[in-house]
Structure 1
Amino acid sequence: MSANLSKELREKYKKRSLPLRKGDMVKIMRGKFRKKTGKIIAVNIKRMKIEIEGMQIKKQDGSKANVKFNPSFLQITELNLEDRKRNESLVGQKNKSNKTEGENKNAP
């Protein structure tokens, strides 16, 4: 379950999209909540839905419920790098892309 990265993150990590994780900051690109940002509070892998902090609707009985978003409607604006494996893979990819760019420049 991946979402597109913002332009700044795309340039920084040399990737277009990454899997969503709890704690990532995202911007909603489609629907009623468009242009709003929030932190991911839950990821439902089975149903392919994401819940975002502060995005709620009022139900018929007056209670509130979190809105569940399709990951394709979201754009990642800030990554949660607390996960060691995720952090290492991003840093590793970043270093790997820098090495390949340097090798291509020196080629005849």
Structure 2
Amino acid sequence: MKKKFSTKWKASRQPRKQRKYRANAPLHLRKKFVSVNLSKELRKKTGKRNIPLKKGDKVKVMRGKFKKTTGKVLKVNLKKAKIVVEGIQVKKMDGSKANVKMQPSNLQIIEMVERVKKKSKQEKKEIPKKQENKIKSDKKPKEAIN
């Protein structure tokens, strides 16, 4: 297994390959690792059970020391798959405060930031007919050379 990354490891039952898949996954695949369960109201609204977390989402902590606390997401670290939530801090020995990095499995989304669907290639190519005619009429015809 000298390869840096392969999508085939995802299908493997071997724990070492599953760990390698998660550890070496590129950022566009790591986005799925920070998926968080939705509240019951949002599940009905969206028709999904979980979605990738985004900065600005309001979440509720479900497990651990900070259970039942809510706050906005300040930072999503895809490299480490950790989330920083507003208001969840620990006091350090010198008196300063430090943000606690939470695991996405311990959170639940209460309110979402608006998510914009990306246009498909086909939608981008389709130009409305009015604009298409306008583009053609803007071009000046070349004069005939006698």
Does residue 65 of structure 1 match 2:104? no
Q: 1:84 aligns with which of 116, 119, 123?
A: 116
**What is the CA–CA distance in structure 1 between the aligned matches of 2:63 and 2:94, rounded to whole Å?**
27
Give deviations 1:10-38, integer Å, cap 9, x for gaps: 00111000000000000000011000100
Does residue 30 of structure 1 match 2:63? yes
**What is the CA–CA distance in structure 2 between the aligned matches of 1:85 and 1:60, rounded to whole Å?**
45
Larger radius of gyration: 2
Unaligned runs of 5+ in 2: 1-33, 120-146
How many Å apart are 1:84 and its aligned residue? 2.4
**What is the CA–CA distance in structure 1 between the aligned matches of 2:69 and 2:62, rounded to whole Å?**
8
Asked which structure has the greater RCO (Cα within 8 Å, sep 6+), the reply is 1
**Count of residue correspondences:** 86
Q: 1:7 aligns with which of 33, 37, 40?
A: 40
How many Å apart are 1:85 and its aligned residue? 2.8
Secondary structure at 1:85's aligned position in 2? coil
Secondary structure at 2:117's aligned position in 1? helix
* Greater than 3 Å deviation, 4+ residue runs: none
**What is the CA–CA distance in structure 2 between the aligned matches of 1:46 and 1:28, rounded to whole Å?**
21
Match of 1:44 in 2: 77
**What is the CA–CA distance in structure 1 between the aligned matches of 2:103 and 2:88, rounded to whole Å?**
13
Match of 1:74 in 2: 107
Does residue 56 of structure 1 match 2:89? yes
**Structural RMSD (CA):** 1.4
Question: Percent of aligned pairs with the same residue?
Answer: 60
| Greater fraction strand | 1
**What is the CA–CA distance in structure 2 between the aligned matches of 1:60 and 1:27, rounded to whole Å?**
27
How many Å apart are 1:62 and its aligned residue? 1.0
**What is the CA–CA distance in structure 2 between the aligned matches of 1:22 and 1:85, rounded to whole Å?**
16
